[in-house]
């Protein structure tokens, strides 16, 4: 028997958590048992909890107990037991796992580079999150960036898809892109990609708190930095804008729409770094705020570019940004369930500065 530690979150009160200990037997026919060696923890995981019912994130690893869920995280795992002939013990995997020390997967559609989890309860969920990379088949450069893949790549992949979405739509006629919570990893990843593209001429405006201004200035990816609360009027209201909201702050969204009026040409809701400030959005001037669903843009590009090309381009862009900011984000290790819960509370309270890269392990030997 394998002892498994999981951290569950109350689906209606994210501050309420509990540690669950389970005993896992040998995997059934066609299954593998994976030890989750490490996973990244960011505000993106808070967003998964908040949109868990709307998107289906709670469905990937159901608890079987009413009201409780397992927040998904991007992880590196190692196969420790296998009853699947095509996946060997010792293989390392990258993908969407629960906040836990171990997990059972059911590989299918197996190729040299990846497989898909075929568990019945996952088949109606967004397919993007059902795939797992087999790192043995990947370039050495990627195998040497395990921490970055857990911590940064999922966010920078979203950054790329947002970047591509804006380019694909010719920025909706905007001359500036406003990025809410620009110091978030998805936020500054998007800013970097826009800023580094010589064919992009739009102005990049980063909105952030006073304490994160120096960090954004150091990254050098914004043409203008605006501090929340007292500087929004410095945004050029005469220049058509596209807003990418990583914060989930309804008051901020309302303020920007009222400031820009009809010059707010697109308003995409992405993240929830300020999740406690979310709420219903009423009728606002300009474009109606809409939820951005990254898998939708990826599916569009799969049709246009060929299956897998969008993710390949996103991965390449993620590597470039991760390498560019490697000295600006310091990895910090969180060991054990209680330390994870404390850090989760810090994320909920928006107390994790952008310079901290949180890597977690719940394995006893970690």
> How high is the mean pLDDT in each 10-residue block of the chain (366 residues)?
96 96 95 98 89 90 96 97 97 97 98 95 91 88 88 92 97 97 92 96 95 93 91 93 89 92 94 48 86 88 92 90 89 96 93 91 80
Angle of helix 294-305 versus helix 153-168 axis, rounded to 10: 70
User: In the chain, what is the straight-line distance between the N-terminal and C-terminal CA atoms, in Å?
Assistant: 19
CA–CA gap between residue 62 and residue 68 (Å, rounded): 8
Note the pLDDT of residue 275: 42
User: CB atoms < 10 A from the CB of 131, how many?
Assistant: 16
| DSSP-assigned letter for residue 264 | E
pLDDT of res. 273: 46
Q: DSSP labels for 122-153?
A: GTTS-GGGGEEEEGGGS-HHHHT-HHHHHHTH
Say what the pLDDT of residue 276 is.
Answer: 46
Find, among 69, 68, 70, 90, the residue nearest to 79 by Cα: 90
Predicted local distance difference test score (pLDDT) of residue 274: 43
| 3 state SS of 338 | helix
Domains and CATH numbers, the chain: 2-151+329-361 (3.90.180.10), 154-296 (3.40.50.720)
* CA-based nearest residue to 102, from 10, 26, 9: 26
Distance CA 348, CA 294 (A): 23
């Amino acid at each position: 028997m394998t002892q498994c530690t999981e951290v569950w979150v109350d689906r209606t009160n994210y501050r309420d958590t509990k540690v669950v200990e389970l005993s896992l037997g040998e995997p059934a026919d066609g299954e593998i048992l994976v030890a989750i060696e490490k996973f990244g923890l960011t505000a993106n995981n808070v967003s998964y909890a908040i949109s868990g019912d709307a998107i289906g994130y709670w469905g990937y690893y159901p608890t079987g107990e009413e009201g409780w869920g397992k927040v998904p995280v991007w992880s590196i795992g190692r196969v420790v037991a296998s009853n699947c002939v095509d996946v060997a013990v010792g293989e390392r995997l990258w993908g969407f796992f629960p906040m836990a020390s171990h997990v059972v997967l059911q590989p299918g559609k197996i190729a040299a580079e990846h497989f898909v989890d075929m568990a019945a309860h996952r088949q109606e969920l967004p397919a993007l999150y059902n795939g797992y990379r087999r790192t043995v088949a990947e370039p050495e450069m990627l195998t040497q960036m395990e921490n970055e893949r857990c911590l940064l790549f999922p966010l920078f992949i979203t950054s790329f898809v947002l970047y591509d979405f804006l380019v694909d739509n010719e920025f909706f006629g905007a001359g500036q892109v406003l990025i809410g919570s620009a110091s978030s990893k998805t936020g500054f990843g998007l800013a970097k990609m826009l800023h580094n593209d010589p064919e992009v001429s739009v102005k990049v405006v980063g909105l952030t708190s006073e304490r994160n201004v120096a960090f954004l200035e150091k990254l050098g990816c914004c043409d203008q930095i605006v501090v929340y609360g007292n500087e929004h009027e410095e945004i050029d209201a005469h220049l058509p804008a596209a807003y990418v909201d990583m914060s989930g702050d309804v008051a901020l969204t309302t303020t920007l729409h009222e400031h820009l009026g009809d010059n707010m040409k697109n308003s995409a809701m992405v993240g929830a770094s300020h999740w406690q400030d979310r709420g219903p959005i009423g009728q606002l001037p300009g474009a109606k705020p809409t939820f951005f669903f990254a898998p939708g843009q990826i599916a569009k590009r799969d049709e246009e570019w060929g299956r897998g090309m969008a993710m390949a381009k996103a991965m390449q862009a993620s590597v470039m940004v991760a390498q560019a900011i490697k000295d600006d984000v310091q990895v910090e290790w969180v060991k054990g369930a209680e330390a994870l819960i404390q850090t989760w509370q810090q994320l909920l309270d928006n107390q994790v500065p952008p310079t901290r890269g949180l890597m977690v392990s719940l394995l006893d030997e970690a």
